[in-house]
Structure 1
């Protein structure tokens, strides 16, 4: 059923009457181009359903969602029979069916209202732009104003970036200067701390030579009385103890100065570190600001920040403060370097003085030891001679005793002869003959010889007694000298072998 009144038709969806001729032509073209497939007509004939052939679009056809040259928006080309399982209802169904009240194609699955051509026609209408000239003019003007605004904003941003870049360079320069000064004061602090530890070690080491000197003095008090003298070695040991006391006083005074200097360096280092930290924070902030752009994801709105801070300083004062902090730090560092030189001088000179005094003491001890050794050797030689004399005297005594025994034997012989002649000869035969006189003379000589030998024996025993006494004196003196040598050469030398060197003093 067709309507001839155009006021009930939609120019975009429902075709008008003047378009019926064109639609008729399109339907004829569609009938020629598209052949119906699987047309179900009554009655149903088995075996008439065949597979669907794919649609073939001509070359250069528009997209599938836009109207095609081979289709129509009329419902007469649905190729559905009026009767059957998919009955199309009235065969005169048209897109105007919704307006005229004619029922659309209805089955138990769906309600068909529009054709595929109408859907594509509506897609084309939806995709067609509908901008006005006013919108175009407003858009062009707005784009021009926005372009000028953003051009000026970019210039301001570039100028701010240049100023920030200059500030970053200046901050980097001063930060490098402060960093160099900080490294210098840090190295100076480490150096003076090492020297202070070295000086404390030297003070500890100084206890060793003092203990050695006092130990040597105490050991030398154990000498026996003949050698208990105040010799050169004793004098040098006393000087050594005095020098140790003087060096300790100098070391303690220098150590107090070093500790005060370290406190000053630490306070100066803390100030320069605070300055470096402030510059590091400022440099990070300016670097961050230099990298920020309107496209950054870290930017936020901060109302009320376009003002001068209350604690802001002038650029001139900032430069003066940077130069003054570096100058103060350098002055403290130079003072510390001078003190370190004095400290090392005191350590070096003190060690050298201790070494020289130790050499003097060792030399005096060596002279004393040499003289004592020579005396000991001489005493030992005398002792050897004395022992040899004692042995000779003892041999002499034995010889005299043997001689006295022989004399006694001879005396017994004479006495026996006289006894026999005096008491055995009878009467007149007992006369004073020459033999009697000879025997009497022999007896007298034997008696005199015996007395002479006994006198020699007593003299030899007296000499032996004197030699024995001298031997005791020699042995006692030798023991005294050996005791002194043991103290000076062995015990004192063993103790003084641990005397520290100037290098040990310098190393701490």
Structure 2
């Protein structure tokens, strides 16, 4: 033994050793050495089974309601090294794998109720309550409401009958008043007829003057580029001046016959006032008759269910209406005639005004035509501008995509250079052809990125300029649209009410 040279050498390390190699052995899955801890975890690889498929009967209630298989004493959950609360294999004591060492709780949750109790609580919450009381109360209230509304309908029908009778009386009296108004008009002599025509012509003359002034005021709402004193504006100013001259002639003529018609005017005003009151009353009673429970005009008015202080009797109303008609008849018999030739001034003035209105309309039509042509051209330019903006934006998107691709290439080049610069050891870190190629590639990528960034800035500047021009075009189109809306739409609607010479003659 003392002469053995391999006595103090390891046969697995020393190459000169002639000792026989020891055969290596491995345990299979689930096997263990006989000397291992008998209290170790019973878990073995491969012992976990796949989930079992639960089959529920076809007539079983929903899963959130109590099931026939629910336990009444709570869920029975075991505890072990592998279970709902198992933290895994524990080896802090020799008894770590034994059941009952640790409580049935982990750091995440503590079980309070069983699944059966949860489903029983769901059934309790889904069960309706107090249904019979609600049905009885519903039937009782509906019966009382039906009786109340039947009584209200009877009262309302009676009130509607009374209102219909009053409306008939008002309509009859209003008809008599209208007859009196027609009678006093027929009895007026030729002078009164001419005077009425002249006065009506003066009233009608307010309409063309208002139209002309409104057209001038509407044209002041045009935007600044279109605030020009064009032909249409000149003709509108002339129109206002002509209306003023015609009014002066009418007023001078009317002053000569005003005194002769004072009594007739008072009588007519009195009968017309009575007629107006009856019209208002008839309208109010008609409106009251047409109202119902679903009308959107009804409101609460506290304190109205009483007699007003200025209320009169039905007998006084009949007496006043008859006296008003009789007074009108007496004034009609006393009226005097005043003759004069007023039709010439009315007809000639209306013809002059019509001629000037035609000149104004022609100037407006010419202005509208030129504005429409300009607006169409501006819209064409705007369309081209929008297409150009879209093309530039597509170009910018292409540049951005190219820059993203260059960024990837730059990262690749930088990563390669870093690996070669800092990971090659010692003399291997040399400046070979690959290193020069990588350096040249990085420089070229940097120059290309700078160039594309410059192009990107130029494209952005061009897009900004196009967007600015787009805004100018849109503002100009809005200005022209505003002018067209005023000259073509609003002015045409206003000037459509311009009176004709026939309206002046038949006023």
- Shorter chain as normaliser: what TM range? 0.3 to 0.5
Larger radius of gyration: 1
Q: Compare the two structures and name the one with the higher helix fraction.
A: 1
Normalising by structure 2, report the TM-score.
Answer: 0.45
